[in-house]
Each structure stands twice: as C-alpha cells, then as structure tokens.
Amino acid sequence: MRRPVGKGAWVALAAVVLATGTIGWRLVSDRSASQSATPGANDPLAALEAAARANPGDAAGWQRLGFAYFDAGRFPDAARAYASATGAAPRNAALWSSLGEALVMASANSPMPPRALSAFRKAAELDPKDARARYFLAVNRDVRGDHQGAIDDWLVLLAETPPGAPWEADLRRTIEQVGKINGIAVAPRIADALARRPTTTAAQPASSAIPGPAPE
C-alpha cells in the first residue's frame, strides 16, 4: 500500500548547516561583536536570550535565539523565538519558513501542524524561491497522499539547487525514498534535474538547510 514517508524520514535535524554554521545566524549583519558584551556571555544561549528580551523589536536577535534553540533540540522554544522574529519582521520569508520547520519538529502528533503549514505558505507567498518552504509544502502533499505531486515539486526544487547546496544530498535522498516506498520511478528524473541545475553556489538565510531523510 502506498503511504507517505514517516516524520522521522523526511524531517531530520539539519546537521549539514549546524556543522558548517554558514546559514541562518544573520538577517542583515553580524552583530556578534555587540553580543559578546551582553551579560551572561559565558553562557551563549543565556546571552542570546537576554539580548532578545532586551530588544524585542530586533528580528535578528530572535532569529539567532531561534537557531540556537533549534540547534539544542529545544524545538518549542525555537518556534516561540521564530514567532517573535516574524512579529518583528513580518515580510521576511526565511523567518516564516524557519518558524514552520520548528513547529514541525516540535509537534508530537501531527506531521504537518496547521500553524506550520500556514507559516510555510506565508514564506512562499513572500518569496516563491524559499527552499525550505517549497520543500515542506511538498512534504504536505506527500502527507496528504499526493506522492507523485510531492516528488514533482521536489524535483523542480532539485533542478534549481546549485551543486553543493547544503540541502542537495538530503533532497535527493528524500525523492529516492518516497519514490521507492510508493513504487514511483525517480532515477531518470533525478538525473534530468541534476543536468539542468544552475552552477552558482546557493545560500539561503534560514535556521538550517532543508531537512532530508533520516534513518527510521
């Protein structure tokens, strides 16, 4: 029987970016120098919390805190921080897609909570190229049983993913796994998507790379 891939398979902590540290810490500029003087600097997370609460209108501060909570596996806290960030910068697509991802990870029951889906849709409305939003909107199609539609959307994303992008390998594995589980041939279409990719290096401001499959 055809079925969607389980949550553990298509929602994995974004280890690639957590390792490289290259995506997600900034909205506009690096404020690490000013943060170093924040009380509690010996505890980076406490310093980020204090900085965000001291300046609640600073979306970048909430984004840094959300990223740190996400890195620590504190997904409900990450979602709250990203919600504050979207309140401070409601036109920033990356913040909305990061909020959606944190809400997905924080959910104990639903693979796609309504608030997360709304956040991804908002991100896509603000920036149709937001990779995380596009990835999870395709996940929603898979969860609803539209496996072919999900694969189609992921393949379009793969075709627009520059070689070496942090999410490339995970995205390919997601497509392969969903195809295998549901009896959908994907190898020729993956090859075609890879042949049509751009050659520039991608960088998406976000909490992490879009997650891909992890062992069940």
Domains of the chain, first to last? 7-195 (1.25.40.10)
Task: Please report the pLDDT score of residue 18 as a whole number.
Answer: 28
Q: What local confidence, expressed as pLDDT, does residue 8 receive?
A: 52
Per-residue pLDDT at 167:
86
Question: Using 50, 70 and 90 to split pLDDT, how confident is the model at 9?
Answer: low
> pLDDT grade, residue 214 (50/70/90)?
very low
Sequential DSSP letters for 83-124: HHHHHH-TT-HHHHHHHHHHHHHH-SS-SS-HHHHHHHHHHH
Per the CB < 8 A criterion, the answer to whether 154 and 138 are in contact is yes
Looking at residue 11, what is its pLDDT? 54
**DSSP state at residue 216:** -
Where do the H-state alpha helices sit in the chain?
7-10, 15-20, 32-35, 44-54, 59-71, 75-88, 93-106, 114-126, 131-143, 147-159, 168-181, 187-195
Task: Report CA dihedral (144, 150, 153, 157) to the nearest 10 degrees.
Answer: 120
pLDDT greater at residue 125 or residue 3 = 125
Residue 49 CA to residue 86 CA, distance in Å, equals 16
Q: Report the chain's mean pLDDT, rounded to a whole number.
A: 81
Query: Given the structure tokens 């010996």, which residue do they identify?
Result: 42
User: 160 or 27, which is more confident?
Assistant: 160
Phi and psi, residue 64, nearest 5°: -60, -40
Share of the chain above pLDDT 90, in %: 66
Specify the long-range contacts of residues 190-199, CB closer than 8 Å, at least 24 apart. 190/155, 190/158, 192/159, 193/155, 193/156, 193/158, 193/159, 194/158, 194/159, 196/159, 197/158, 197/159, 197/160, 197/161, 197/162, 197/163, 198/160, 198/162, 199/162, 199/163
Residue 153's pLDDT is 98
Given pLDDT bands bounded at 50, 70 and 90, which one contains residue 199?
confident
Residue-level pLDDT at 205: 40
**What does pTM read for this prediction?**
0.77
Beta-carbon count within 10 A of 127 CB: 18
Instruction: Please give the pLDDT value at position 213.
Output: 38
pLDDT of res. 201: 52
Please give the average per-residue pLDDT across 57-75, as a whole number: 97
Structure confidence by residue, pLDDT tens digits, 151-172: 999 999 999 999 988 889 999 9
* Whole-angstrom distance, CA of residue 69 vs CA of residue 102: 9
Angle between helices 114-126 and 131-143 (to 10 degrees): 140
Separation of alpha carbons 55 and 96, rounded Å: 20
Query: Does the pLDDT at position 206 exceed 90?
Result: no
Q: Please compute the mean of the pLDDT values over residues 23-44 and round it to a whole number.
A: 44
Q: How does DSSP classify residue 56?
A: T
CA distance 17 to 79: 18
Mind listing the pLDDT tens digit for each residue in 84-139? Answer: 999 999 999 999 999 999 999 999 999 999 999 999 999 999 999 999 999 999 99
